[in-house]
Amino acid sequence: MPRHFLTGAELSPDELLALVDRAIELKADPLGSNVLDRRSVALIFEKPSTRTRVSFETGVVELGGHPLVLRRDELQLSRGESVRDTAYVLSRHVAAIGIRTGPDALVEELAEHSSVPVVNMLTAGHHPCQALADLMTLKEAFGRLEGLKLAYVGDGNNVARSLAILGSLVGVEVAVAAPPGYQLSGGVPATLTSDPDEAASGADALYADVWVSMGDEDTAAERRAALAPYRLDDALLDRAAPDAIALHCLPAHPGEEITEAVLYGPRQRIWQQAENRRHAQKALLELLVH
């Protein structure tokens, strides 16, 4: 049976810690693995992407493989072919399947019928590959994960959920500060509050994401008004631990969820975090593909 990576909860704590360490090794030696030599990985993009597409494509190449980039309008999925049939066909050609889409149920169905590993590159409910890179960035910054506190401020979305799930596996305390109506639900392993100062207090890292995600454009004004008190700025960073860092999964909108001074300033690890997507995903593919 193939191993899939849909939420991050599929990994044991030891596996996740080893994966982060392996990602750091691969960052130091980008061509140090050829696990995908003469093999292909299907990368299905139903949503626009910069970091996910670039990091997966280049990562697969560095592992010796061929990234087969597929958009929905290039597949028979757009003409009614079932997810099940798509999984059957792709499984007979590629070593793994990554998909960036909306419904979690679609990825779960793809995994149910695939005979090769399926990787969730983003869904409405989860963004576990982003969380892998985030943990790697924390490990680089602090030399450990156990006992760290990460405060996420803003919309309790898929990124916040993945941070909570994967962080809890390795001893990272995750606090999510969000206004009423925007908070995480579903029993996630995180401290939930409406007070960004409370979440930031003593935190080793502060994390922001866009206030208006893909699909939220119709409520953009309402969202900006509700989330305005949750901006990541120097004042909020001053509430955190003395050596706290700022993180953001990007794309960023300076002046909204994060100030320009923080986004481009000395207290952030955001661009390092973006690079780490590639290395963390390579370590993940090594684990999943045999």
Distance from C-alpha of 80 to C-alpha of 77, rounded to nearest angstrom: 5
Distance from C-alpha of 84 to C-alpha of 89, rounded to nearest angstrom: 9
Distances (CA, A) of 76 to 39, 73, 90, 95, 118: 23, 8, 12, 20, 19
Distance from C-alpha of 120 to C-alpha of 111, rounded to nearest angstrom: 10
3-state helix, strand, coil in the chain (%, to 5): 45, 15, 40
**DSSP SS3 for 288:** helix
Could you give the angle at which helices 83-91 and 104-113 cross, rounded to 10 degrees? 50
Cβ atoms of residues 200 and 246 within 8 Å: no
Which residues does the annotation mark as catalytic? 100, 127, 130, 209, 249, 277
Which strand (E) or helix (H) includes residue 42?
Answer: strand 40-45
